[in-house]
Amino acid sequence: MTEEIAVIPGDGIGQEVVPAAVDVLDTVGDFAFVEAEAGDHVLEAEGEALPQETYDLAADADATLFGAAGETAADVILPLREAVGSFANVRPARAYPGVDALRPETDLVFVRENTEGVYTGIESEIADGVTTLTRVITEDASRRIAEYGFEYAAENGFDDVTVAHKANVMRVTDGEFLDACEAVADEGGYEYDEALMDALAMHLLLRPEEYGVVICPNLAGDMLSDLAAGLVGGLGLLPSANIGPDNALFEPVHGSAPDIAGQGISNPCATILSAAMLLEHLGYQEEATTVRTAVEGVLADGPHTPDLGGDASTEDVTEAIVDRL
């Protein structure tokens, strides 16, 4: 079967890094790529940032590769994550030989709950100058992210699993989250540690080598994974996956980078590593490893784009990766 992959480059450097990742996918596999538009430039031309046909394409494809949107990012990526039924946001943060990193020993994967917590949008101004936000934590969603996180750790060879929370203050909601994680761990025979998310931020910075998979409620996962991005040498290297029950969307963590867009110097590695996650998701483990090894080789030996201190173009780096496949 030829899988259909929806390809949504979006704005800015999305238009540069997504074609690079498609080249890589095309080299290692036999996929049907269907391209669709979204983002600021579509809002300008058509009056909406995410046309229904793009949403439908992502919902119906076997997997989606997304670049980035600009100012319309929230209007594009949140519905797209919903289109694929995503409940888990998986964000690996790993340092690579050849790349200057604050903490070269970092090899972390954040498994972030992607549907609730404080990102429910249930906010109100209940009186002049008094505002509230409702934090939703359900047993179902907590169990689902815990199951995904523990299984991910087991399948990918991580010994350390940490559940991030703040149940000493948010006793009811994070109490529920912790109880669900504990129940899933008991049932599956998984081992893990708990960590208060604020203290964890410091420990990740000081001793990242003591951590592996970190299972997080929504906001904690967003913040801790960005912190980890800083440990490994920048946004140009960070892939991510949005996983649903039977569909998924893959995207670099970075945005549309208007400061360098159009110059052909964006680093394609984050998007190519996202494509490797896509391959893995579709069951092409060997191809995923081949792509990762090629990226690691180029990171170690060059060429490098300017964000990594080199003077190579997006195309040079992509060619060097494809040559190694």
Are 39 and 14 contacting, i.e. CB atoms less than 8 angstroms apart?
yes
Q: Which amino acid is at 61?
A: A
Q: Is 316 a catalytic residue?
A: no
The entry of ligand NAI, Mg ion, none near residue 270 (CB within 5 to 8 angstroms by kind) is ligand NAI
Helix, coil or strand: residue 200: helix
Q: Is 24 in the site for ligand NAI (CB under 6 A)?
A: no
Q: Is 179 a catalytic residue?
A: no
Catalytic residue among 166, 190, 284, 316: 166
Q: Is 256 in the site for ligand NAI (CB under 6 A)?
A: yes
**For ligand NAI, the closer CB: 92 or 142:** 92
d(CA 75, CA 90): 21
Catalytic residue among 11, 40, 174, 222: 222
Helix, coil or strand: residue 188: helix
Q: Is 222 a catalytic residue?
A: yes
Helix, coil or strand: residue 96: coil
Q: Is 198 a catalytic residue?
A: yes
Q: Judged by CB under 6 A, which stretch of 18-26, 190-198, 209-217, 260-268 contacts ligand NAI? A: 260-268
Q: What's the distance, Cα to Cα, between the start and end of the chain in Å?
A: 22
Q: Is 11 a catalytic residue?
A: no
* C-alpha distance from residue 80 to each of 8, 51, 56, 73, 152 (Å): 10, 11, 9, 10, 23
Q: Is 251 in the site for Mg ion (CB under 5 A)?
A: no
The entry of ligand NAI, Mg ion, none near residue 267 (CB within 5 to 8 angstroms by kind) is ligand NAI
DSSP for 106-167, written as a single string: -EEEEEEE-S-BGGG--EEEEETTEEEEPPB--HHHHHHHHHHHHHHHHHTT---EEEEE-T
Look-up of token digits 């998979």: 213
Residue 82 has a CB neighbour count (10 Å cut-off) of: 17
Q: Judged by CB under 6 A, which stretch of 62-70, 78-86, 149-157, 198-206 contacts ligand NAI? A: 62-70
Which residue among 28, 42, 69, 108 contacts ligand NAI (CB under 6 A)? 69
Token pair recorded at residue 114: 């992607």
Phi-psi region of 23 (alpha: psi -120 to 50; beta: other; left: phi over 0): alpha
Catalytic residue among 100, 198, 311, 323: 198
Which residue among 68, 99, 184, 279 contacts ligand NAI (CB under 6 A)? 68
Looking at residues 202 to 241 of the shown chain, list those that interact with Mg ion (rule: CB under 5 A): 222
Token pair recorded at residue 277: 């996650």
The entry of ligand NAI, Mg ion, none near residue 222 (CB within 5 to 8 angstroms by kind) is Mg ion
Looking at residues 280 to 309 of the shown chain, list those that interact with ligand NAI (rule: CB under 6 A): 305, 307
**For ligand NAI, the closer CB: 118 or 272:** 272
Strand order in the sheet with 213-216: 32-35, 4-10, 63-68, 248-252, 239-243, 88-94, 107-113, 213-216, 161-165, 193-196
Closest distance of CB 171 from ligand NAI, Å: 33
Which residue among 25, 220, 270, 273 contacts ligand NAI (CB under 6 A)? 270
Q: Judged by CB under 6 A, which stretch of 52-60, 168-176, 259-267, 277-285 contacts ligand NAI? A: 259-267
**For Mg ion, the closer CB: 91 or 304:** 91
Which residue among 83, 255, 317, 322 contacts ligand NAI (CB under 6 A)? 255
- DSSP run (H or E) holding 194: strand 193-196
> What are the residue numbers of the active site?
119, 166, 198, 222, 226
Residues in contact with ligand NAI by the rule CB under 6 A: 13, 17, 68-71, 73, 77, 235-236, 251, 254-260, 266-267, 270, 305, 307
